[in-house]
Amino acid sequence: MKAIVAVDLDWGIGYKGQLLERIPEDMKFFKEKTLGKIIIMGRETLESLPGKKPLKDRTNIVLTKNRRYDDNKNMIVSHSLKELFQETNKYNEEEVFVIGGESVYSQLLPYCSECYVTKIENNYEADKHFADLDRQNGWKQIWQSEEKKYNDISFKFTKYINEKPKRQNRIQVTD
Ligand SMILES: NC(=O)c1ccc[n+]([C@@H]2O[C@H](COP(=O)([O-])OP(=O)(O)OC[C@H]3O[C@@H](n4cnc5c(N)ncnc54)[C@H](OP(=O)(O)O)[C@@H]3O)[C@@H](O)[C@H]2O)c1
């Protein structure tokens, strides 16, 4: 599986349930990468989306421990990592994207082989963060775009790879 995220200079990703910034070109990049694919998100991230609805033209998998949270036919609900992996094992793992938020990224990052990181060259007030991949063992940046501008904000797209992703089927998941 892969992850896709937008971070600020401190690897902040969110504040009070929302994104730190909405950059149209980043939204377009996210859409291009995930369209037609399988996306995994936490219940909080689902509820931050417009209308609290799953994203169109993608297979949406939502993690929640709430057993009654499965009345929406447009998404698949998983109640644990074990259930999630039973679901994701049905797909080509190249097509599975972890799209947040903080708690889901932190649990699934070890299983990701690649991560697209949009780096926003700005500091925001943030209460949710992503792991600093420049300090994570096994993670290496292999690509970055040229610097881009949105109003007075600079940003760039980058790609990291994980040299030793954990294999889902070798891990004993207990929750
Ligand atoms: N910058 C970016 O690229 C980006 C991307 C996505 C999100 N975000 C931001 O991240 C923030 C949300 O992150 P968050 O950490 O608060 O929430 P989250 O990860 O989106 O959702 C957390 C919820 O997911 C469920 N969950 C997590 N792990 C689970 C597991 N193993 N089994 C069952 N359910 C599980 C739980 O739901 P229940 O409580 O229902 O059990 C938990 O409360 C927002 O500010 C959002 O805007 C930023």
pLDDT of residue 140: 98
- Kindly list the protein residues whose Cβ atom lies closer than 6 A to any atom of ligand 1: 5-6, 13-14, 17-19, 41-45, 48, 63-66, 79-81, 99-104, 107, 128, 175
pLDDT of residue 68: 87
- The whole-number pLDDT of residue 79 equals 96
Report pLDDT for 174: 54
Residue 17 Cα to ligand 1 middle (Å): 9
Q: Which residue among 8, 41, 43, 75 has the greatest number of ligand 1 atoms within 8 angstroms of its CB, and so is best to mutate?
A: 43
What pLDDT does residue 170 have?
A: 43
Domain ranges of the chain: 2-170
The pLDDT of residue 105 is 98
> Distance from the CA of 49 to the center of ligand 1, in angstroms?
12
Over its length of 175 residues, how does the chain's per-residue pLDDT go in tens digits?
999 999 999 999 999 999 999 999 999 999 999 999 999 999 999 999 999 999 999 999 999 999 988 767 789 999 999 999 999 999 999 999 999 999 999 999 999 999 999 999 999 999 999 999 999 999 999 999 999 999 999 999 999 999 999 988 644 555 5
The matching CATH number, chosen from 3.40.430.10, 1.10.8.640, 3.90.1170.50, 3.40.50.300, for 2-170 is 3.40.430.10
Cα separations (Å) of 88 from 2, 38, 42, 111?
12, 8, 15, 12
